């Protein structure tokens, strides 16, 4: 299918001040953020492509094209002019039910040499069970590109009968390790496994590009523990990014009724779910201990109550909007928009909600090679949008 780029060149201009969020006023220390006023900045939002069916992840190919996943199970190439390719052959079969389907996409750090592409997706198990998996394949350079020699390099175990909370984001660190941020499958009786080291549910895992386990993983060699585990006690992680200066992994995760979090997962540490949380059950009852912190469990560096429905996130280092350099950008699904967080080291100092008037669920946020910001809207008629400063 192709979609003419009829919206290219159309744009909307927004003053940065107009969408300052007041949500942080309700936050409690230490994650509370002081609202800061920045200089007025107008931004331009350009439609690169439309007609994407619930797009989930985007990666930037060296030739200037985009690689975009659609949750129903399709991988497509999008040109800067807005042409959307037919679905690429070779994508693994996905369980496209509930929150499951084809999810994140990432290029190998040596993509220009090996052309390896990594995908996360919901994989069918026995009976009605399923779980998050990671596969990689070689993207051909033919006139009709496809994935070849596809292999599954990681499977979340155990598989569960649930169509919720798959996660997941893929991030390579500066040493070539691959982080996979996973969900805990949501349901009572499953989510408790986020605290158990014999399960991948509710974990960040760290593997090598071929799926093997790094020798210095915190639970490698520990009897009864899954050796891939990096950190545990997470809920439903839907955003992840590598800090451009420290090289540390940052992730975000959905809380239940409130309590969306940003964490900096460290080796072997416990991030609390479902024992502690800033949120509550959807019924209004307390979760776990009913407390927001406990000894031996790490507090988030930032949280939202009520929830914004966190999604893809990116550190901004580009020149397209100089005023935003050093910010962390987080997409919002439940309260649509982009949330720009100002930082002082590992402390959030301010927050602004942007693009709320778009009225679109923001699924992914990335900085492109050109320094512009690219976002995906999670809709039946999803869009790839480009954001730059308005001159």
Sign of CA dihedral 189, 190, 193, 194: negative
Name the band, by pLDDT with cuts 50, 70 and 90, for residue 13. very low
Please check the confidence at residue 301 and state whether its pLDDT lies above 90. Answer: yes
Percent of the chain, pLDDT > 90?
Answer: 86
Please check the confidence at residue 25 and state whether its pLDDT lies above 60. Answer: no
Say if CB 27 and CB 45 are below 8 A apart: no
Residues 6+ apart with CB under 8 A from 44: 11, 12, 13, 387, 388, 389, 390
- DSSP line for 242-263: E-TTT--EEEEEE-SBS-EEEE
- pLDDT tens for 95-137 read 999 999 999 999 999 999 999 999 999 999 999 999 999 999 9
Name the band, by pLDDT with cuts 50, 70 and 90, for residue 305. very high
Q: What's the pLDDT at 91?
A: 98
Please check the confidence at residue 49 and state whether its pLDDT lies above 50. Answer: yes
Nearest alpha carbon to residue 154 among 126, 179, 190: 179
Both tokens of 237, joined, read 């992680």
Compute the average pLDDT of residues 49-63: 98
Q: What's the pLDDT at 26?
A: 28
Please check the confidence at residue 29 and state whether its pLDDT lies above 50. Answer: no
165, 234, 254, 278: the catalytic one is 165
Structural domains of the chain ordered from first start: 11-389 (2.120.10.30)
More confident residue, 14 or 318: 318
Name the band, by pLDDT with cuts 50, 70 and 90, for residue 67. very high
Nearest alpha carbon to residue 197 among 219, 165, 168, 221: 219
Exposure string for 88-108, b = 16+ CB within 10 A, e = fewer: bebbbebbbeebbbbbbbbbb
E strand or H helix at 112: helix 111-114
Give me the chain's average pLDDT, please: 90
Q: Tell me if residue 54 is catalytic.
A: no
Q: What's the pLDDT at 40?
A: 60
Say if CB 124 and CB 58 are below 8 A apart: no
Instruction: Give pTM, 2 decimals.
Output: 0.91
Query: How many Å apart are CA 55 and CA 104, to the nearest integer?
Result: 10
In the block, tokens 């869009």 appear at 383
More confident residue, 95 or 5: 95
């Amino acid at each position: 299918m192709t979609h003419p780029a009829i919206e290219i060149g159309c744009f909307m201009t927004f003053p940065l001040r107009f969408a300052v969020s007041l949500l942080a006023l309700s936050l409690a220390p230490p994650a509370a953020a002081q609202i800061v006023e920045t200089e007025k900045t107008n931004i331009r939002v350009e439609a690169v492509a439309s007609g994407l069916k619930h797009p989930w992840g985007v990666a930037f190919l060296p030739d200037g094209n985009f690689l975009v996943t659609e949750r129903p199970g399709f991988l497509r190439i999008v040109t800067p002019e807005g042409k959307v390719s037919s679905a690429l052959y070779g994508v693994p079969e996905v369980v496209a039910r509930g929150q499951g389907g084809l999810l994140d996409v990432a290029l190998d750090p040596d993509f220009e040499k090996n052309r390896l592409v990594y995908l996360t997706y919901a994989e069918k198990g026995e009976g009605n069970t399923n779980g998050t998996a990671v596969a990689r394949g070689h993207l051909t350079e033919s006139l009709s590109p496809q994935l070849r020699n596809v292999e599954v390099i990681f499977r979340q175990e155990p598989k569960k009968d649930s169509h919720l909370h798959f996660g997941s984001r893929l991030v390579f660190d500066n040493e070539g390790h691959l982080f996979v941020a996973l969900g805990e499958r949501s349901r009572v009786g499953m989510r408790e496994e986020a605290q158990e080291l014999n399960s991948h549910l509710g974990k960040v895992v760290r593997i090598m590009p071929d799926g093997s386990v790094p020798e210095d993983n915190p639970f490698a060699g520990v009897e009864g523990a899954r050796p891939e585990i990096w950190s545990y006690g997470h809920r439903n992680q839907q955003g992840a990014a590598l800090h451009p200066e420290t090289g540390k992994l940052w992730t975000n995760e959905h809380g239940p009724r409130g309590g969306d979090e940003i964490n900096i997962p460290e080796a072997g540490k416990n991030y609390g779910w479902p024992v502690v949380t800033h949120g509550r059950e959807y019924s209004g009852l307390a979760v776990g201990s009913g407390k927001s912190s406990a000894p031996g469990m790490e507090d988030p560096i930032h949280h939202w109550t009520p929830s914004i429905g966190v999604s893809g996130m990116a550190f901004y280092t580009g020149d397209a909007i100089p005023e935003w350099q050093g910010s962390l950008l987080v997409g919002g699904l439940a309260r649509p928009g982009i949330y720009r967080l100002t930082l002082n080291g590992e402390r959030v100092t301010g927050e602004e909600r942007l693009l709320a008037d778009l009225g679109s669920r923001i699924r992914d946020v990335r900085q492109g090679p050109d320094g512009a910001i690219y976002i995906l809207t999670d809709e039946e008629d999803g869009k790839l949008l480009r954001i730059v400063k308005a001159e």
